[in-house]
Amino acid sequence: MSASPWWTSRFGALAAVDPAFAGLVDAYAEAQVDLIERLAELPPGGRVLDLGCGGGRHGILLQERGHSVVGVDLSQEVIALAQENWDIRNPGVDGPHFVVGDMRAPPVEGSFSAVLLMDASLGVFDDDAEHLRVLTAAADRLEPGGALVLELLNPYFWAHRNLTQHFPPGSVAPNADILRSYRFDPLAGRVQDRITVFEDGKRRVLPTQSLRCWTPPEIAGLSSAAGFSQVQIIGSDGWQVPSGPGRLDPENSAMIWVLARL
Ligand SMILES: C[S@@+](CC[C@H](N)C(=O)[O-])C[C@H]1O[C@@H](n2cnc3c(N)ncnc32)[C@H](O)[C@@H]1O
């Protein structure tokens, strides 16, 4: 068994099952980016740092809207996918700077109008001291007045939803049956997300994702330890992107959005 943590191999494995699993540049991503621009009050041509950028869906759209994006991800495979996703949409055009790196020490110079951690990119580490390192690195890279935008799992929602989803062939991967199950660990405050792929008569279990999820006071505390003084919590509308700042609904908001400034 490998000693490497799950987050070093899970996302490349997901992208290999189907690139759609690494996130599509679709209407949902457009709605997320609309909200990011609004919450962060991004200036025209604003510099955006996307940590754990995955297949680049937000960075690509922000760059297409005239911003200047740097996307950082640990996975070589998903960084290659992000570049490919850009090149397909914008052949021959210079795009975001996609770079392999660790979100705890992003290999990035300069200051940014906004730092993003989307789709629960914050939450992979076992120890909150490592999450604090990420938020501190984000704070260090924000210009005065810049904004941190996080999209996290809402523990109040996930605590009583032990879901199993079935994706038949054609719905995610062309030829595979996929089972995805989510289980909440109340002592750890984490959601375990396990994906099993059935293909060509074989069964494969991908590295199980274990994501930390914080209650609003917990994430406000972690953000303030990283130097953020203003923290606003916004609940999603079910599985949909919030239409704007609104209340957090424990029954309905699958995700928590956090807007923080120094
Ligand atoms: C759930 S995906 C989200 C991707 C993207 N933000 C989106 O919304 O489509 C989490 C991403 O974080 C990346 N990641 C995990 N651990 C990381 C680390 N220590 N440093 C940088 N990226 C990391 C993964 O490779 C993966 O692409």
Which ligand 1 atom is nearest residue 78's CA?
A: 27
Question: Whole-model pTM?
Answer: 0.95
Bridge partners of 201, per DSSP, are none
Confidence category of residue 13, pLDDT binned at 50, 70, 90? confident
State pLDDT tens for residues 212-223: 999 999 999 999
Are 116 and 89 spatial neighbours (Cβ–Cβ below 8 Å)? no
Same domain, 57 and 114: yes
Q: Please check whether residue 1 lies inside any domain of the structure.
A: no
Which ligand 1 atom is nearest residue 32's CA?
A: 8
Q: Please check whether residue 232 lies inside any domain of the structure.
A: yes
Which domain, by its residues, includes 26?
6-157+214-261
> Taking 80 as the threshold, does the pLDDT of residue 245 lie above it?
no
Which ligand 1 atom is nearest residue 75's CA?
A: 25
Same domain, 133 and 48: yes
pLDDT confidence of residue 1: 46
Helix or strand holding residue 191 (H, E): strand 190-199
| CA 10 / ligand 1 centre spacing (Å) | 10
DSSP 53-108: -TT-HHHHHHHHTT-EEEEEES-HHHHHHHHHHHHHHSTT----EEEE--TTS---
Number of domains composing the chain:
2
Same domain, 60 and 176: no
Q: Which of 8, 11, 17, 152 to mutate for ligand 1's pocket (most ligand atoms within 8 Å of CB)?
A: 11
Same domain, 188 and 60: no
Q: How many angstroms separate the CA atoms of 261 and 40, rounded?
A: 9
Percent of the chain whose pLDDT exceeds 70: 99
The residue type found at 18 is: D
Same domain, 100 and 45: yes
Q: Is the CB of 102 under 6 A from ligand 1?
A: yes
Q: Is the CB of 7 under 6 A from ligand 1?
A: yes
CA–CA distances in Å: residue 250 to residues 88, 126, 168, 234: 39, 24, 30, 11
Which ligand 1 atom is nearest residue 120's CA?
A: 1
Same domain, 180 and 92: no
pLDDT confidence of residue 162: 86
> Taking 80 as the threshold, does the pLDDT of residue 111 lie above it?
yes
State pLDDT tens for residues 118-159: 999 999 999 999 999 999 999 999 999 999 999 999 999 999
